[in-house]
């Protein structure tokens, strides 16, 4: 039997419940306009299902600070979504009523173009990305070039599949993935934001840490540019 036909055997979600599927709200940080990241090029890597505030906060922060941000997604989101190529569904817990247009697919993203990559959380997004070999190869190439990687909430799950991190690399993440990160050899901290200098890795704990996560991302990007300027 076609699994898509099974819906006829079950009760539709009550309208009263539909209005509550957005889950608990969080305070989304607002960022001032600036030019501190002018000239930086960032890949915001996402598939379907990143949480709305986890997309909005870093995207807003980077743009307001003058960075050039590409929303990069999996090839199939462009190739097989014939009626909406490149559209990514954003989640609000279980609600899926908003979306965003990606700029390019992973096969067209050149690692050499980017100063950093940002990985988002959400329940589905990391699962889709961590099993896509093109995504993993892109991230491995970013790391080989010692570019900054930033991941928030469930986003650090993707790093497990990327591999290549030294045992004891410091990270944080949402509570339900910390055991997985520990099992993979990371040194896991219950802190809003953690930075591992050797790995060039910024991680944020959950949506309530988005302000600190974004500000630390900006600091680490500028530090790296400063080192490059002084050595050049």
pLDDT tens, N- to C-terminus, the chain (232 residues): 788 888 889 998 887 777 678 878 888 999 999 999 999 999 999 999 999 999 999 999 999 999 999 999 999 999 999 999 999 999 998 888 899 999 999 999 999 999 999 999 998 999 999 999 999 999 999 999 999 999 999 999 999 999 999 999 999 999 999 999 999 999 999 999 999 999 999 999 999 999 999 999 999 999 876 555 444 4
Considering the candidates 41, 48, 99, 154, report the single residue annotated as catalytic: 154
Q: Is 154 a catalytic residue?
A: yes
Contact in structure between 25 and 102 (CB atoms under 8 Å): no
Q: Is 153 a catalytic residue?
A: yes
Return the SS3 of 172: coil
Tokens of 168: 């004891």
* 44 closest CA partner among 142, 126, 118: 118
Considering the candidates 41, 48, 56, 153, report the single residue annotated as catalytic: 153
Query: Domains in the chain, ordered, with CATH?
Result: 38-231 (3.40.50.880)
Return the SS3 of 118: strand
Question: In terms of DSSP H, where are the helices of the chain?
Answer: 15-18, 52-64, 75-79, 125-130, 133-144, 157-162, 178-183, 210-231
In whole angstroms, give the CA distance from residue 144 to residue 163: 12
First to last CA, the chain: 64
């Amino acid at each position: 039997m076609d699994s898509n036909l099974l819906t006829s055997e079950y009760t539709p979600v009550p309208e009263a419940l539909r209005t509550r599927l957005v889950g608990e709200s969080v305070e989304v940080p607002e960022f001032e306009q600036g030019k501190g990241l002018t000239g930086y090029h960032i890949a915001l890597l996402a598939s379907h299902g990143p949480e709305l505030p986890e997309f909005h906060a870093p995207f807003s922060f980077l743009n307001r600070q003058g960075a050039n941000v590409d929303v990069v997604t999996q090839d199939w989101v462009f190739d097989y979504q014939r009626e909406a190529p490149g559209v990514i569904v954003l989640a609000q817990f279980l609600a899926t009523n908003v979306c965003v247009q990606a700029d390019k697919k992973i096969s067209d993203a050149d690692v050499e173009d980017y100063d950093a990559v940002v990985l988002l959380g959400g329940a589905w997004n990391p699962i889709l990305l961590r099993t896509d070999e093109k995504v993993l190869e892109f991230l491995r190439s970013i790391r080989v070039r010692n570019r900054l990687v930033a991941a928030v909430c469930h986003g650090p799950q993707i790093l497990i599949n990327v591999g290549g991190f030294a045992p004891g690399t410091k990270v944080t993440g949402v509570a339900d993935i910390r055991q997985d990160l520990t099992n993979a050899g990371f040194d896991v901290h219950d802190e809003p934001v953690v930075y591992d200098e050797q790995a060039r890795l910024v991680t944020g704990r959950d949506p309530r840490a988005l302000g600190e996560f974004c500000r630390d991302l900006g600091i680490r990007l500028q530090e790296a540019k400063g080192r490059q300027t002084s050595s050049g």
